[in-house]
Amino acid sequence: MDIRKIADDIAASPQITPADVPQIAGAGYRAIICNRPDGEGADQPNFEEIESAAKAAGLEARYIPVVSGKVQDTDAEAFGKALRDLPGPVLAYCRSGTRSATLWSLSQAKALPPAHILAATKEAGYDMAGVVRRIVNGGKTPTDTGDAKFDVVVVGGGAAGIAVSASLKARKPELNIALLDPADIHYYQPGWTMVGGGIFEPQTTARTMGSLIPRGVHWIKAAVAAFEPEDNAVVLDGCRVVKYDRLIVCPGLKLDWHKVEGLVDTLGKNGVTSNYRYDLAPYTWELVRGFKGGRALFTQPPMPIKCAGAPQKALYLSGDHWFRTGVLPRVQIEFMNAGGVLFGVKDYVPALETYIEKYRAKLNFFHNLVAVDGPARKATFKVAKPDTEPTEVTVEFDMMHVCPPQTAPDFIRVSPLADAAGWVDVDQNTLRHKTYDNVWSLGDVMNAPNAKTAAAARMQAPVVAENVAADIDGKAPVALYNGYGSCPLTVERGKIVLAEFGYGGALLPSFPKWLIDGTKPTRAAWLLKEQILPPVYWKAMLRGKEWMAKPEPVSAS
């Protein structure tokens, strides 16, 4: 028997026999649904046999036969009613289990998010790609999908999405491009570290989305529910369908606040803050400025995360303020890092360690935040050091800056575009999808082994634009991405360690060493971060002006 659990109250399986029923009862199931019509196969027991065995085992049985490939809306409604009426958990079966999984998916479409349904069935081994539109449409067969068609569809209106739209439009002004994003506001997220350090005002990091969409690009203000790459289609919430010739996927990643027990309930109060949210970064500065002493924790979850240096940037700017104001002797700073190193590129570590010593910070490696009790001001960490049994420790705090766990968005993880870990599966050099030739991806959501930073997206946008334009012209990829990413580590107010690196940790400095030595803290790098990069972001990157971001060409050899 091959029983595949979909949810707590339902499992699906291929054809069962009367002899299997006692084992099903022993596994805790209290009811059976048959979704296979009698006589479909020569070796198939009929429902009466299964029903008789079920009664003998004390189980209820229900017959909801469905012809393979012809699941009707009424079938899904009957299945949903049976789930409500029957004692659970329920085992449903057909020839392979797919019809039963499909019926469950459609019956739950009004109650559960599409991504949840697709994830549950995918985990159980059932592909619901054929009924995605019906799931998004609340379990009903769409009658009017409102199809629209574009040369290029860009998913995501963050730094990567707007930049690549602008770069592509600059190369091919005649292209009919649509950008899909439901947000009203676009944020300059690299600025939030500076907000948390009292350097930037929060409103300088936000602009309306409408003011930034490149001229001539259609903005469709809607969320994506699912992808149908075999049909060159994107399904939106509400079951509208947008078709494309080429697709560029860059919706960013998901900050999974709920993964830490108790965190959501205490954010913004009880001394718990995060620079990873626009509305909380000012609270960081409020806490730092008013701190008179005690234990200050700064957390970093497992990789990958966006801007891997941001958790310790908050530590350094806080420590610098307490150093300058004379509070530092009364502060115990601890860096709770789920990883095993201070920074992933060793060339920058000596300079950072100097500041760890300056601020008397304690480094706690392999400590991953799993729970927070805000009112009690206690944080629990899972400690998983190499070659030792994992343990948990609870630490009291007076202030805590949290970097949340991060994953690909739900609608990406359950899509055909994702790899086994849930990220969009691309060739790391051309950023083209490994399976679908007319799909590209950039920014935080794709699986190339580079740092997830805005600086990386700034370099990736011209590469994707160049390669999409070449593909339109019938050519092979003409540009390569070298893995460039940049992390301006704000080690003190007025100085930055400018980490710039590519694949494999190779150093990729943008400036001569006499101007900015990225391995050392410099005033010049601070001026770059504070005064130059924001206007470069707003006025160049998002407008398709590729200052210091020309793509590397494919070698002629």
Residues recognised as catalytic: 307, 487
Exposed, middle or buried: residue 445 (CB in 10 Å: 0-12, 13-18, 19+)?
Answer: buried
* Residue partners of 131: CB distance under 8 A and separation at least 6: 71, 102, 105, 106
* Contact by Cβ (8 Å): 292, 482: no
CA 68/CA 355 separation, integer angstroms: 66
CA 50/CA 38 separation, integer angstroms: 11
* Residue partners of 91: CB distance under 8 A and separation at least 6: 3, 10, 11, 12, 13, 16, 24, 29, 31, 32, 33
How far is CA 209 from its chain centroid?
21
> Which pair of structure tokens corresponds to residue 3?
């029983």
Which phi-psi region, left, alpha or beta, contains residue 182 (left: φ > 0; alpha: ψ -120 to 50)? alpha
Question: Nearest-CA neighbor of 168 among 530, 543, 433, 552?
Answer: 543
Backbone angles phi, psi at 298, to 5 degrees: -130, 120
CA 509/CA 527 separation, integer angstroms: 16
Please provide the DSSP assignment of 141-165 as one string. PPS----EEEEEEEE--SHHHHHHH
CA 38/CA 57 separation, integer angstroms: 22
CA 397/CA 297 separation, integer angstroms: 7
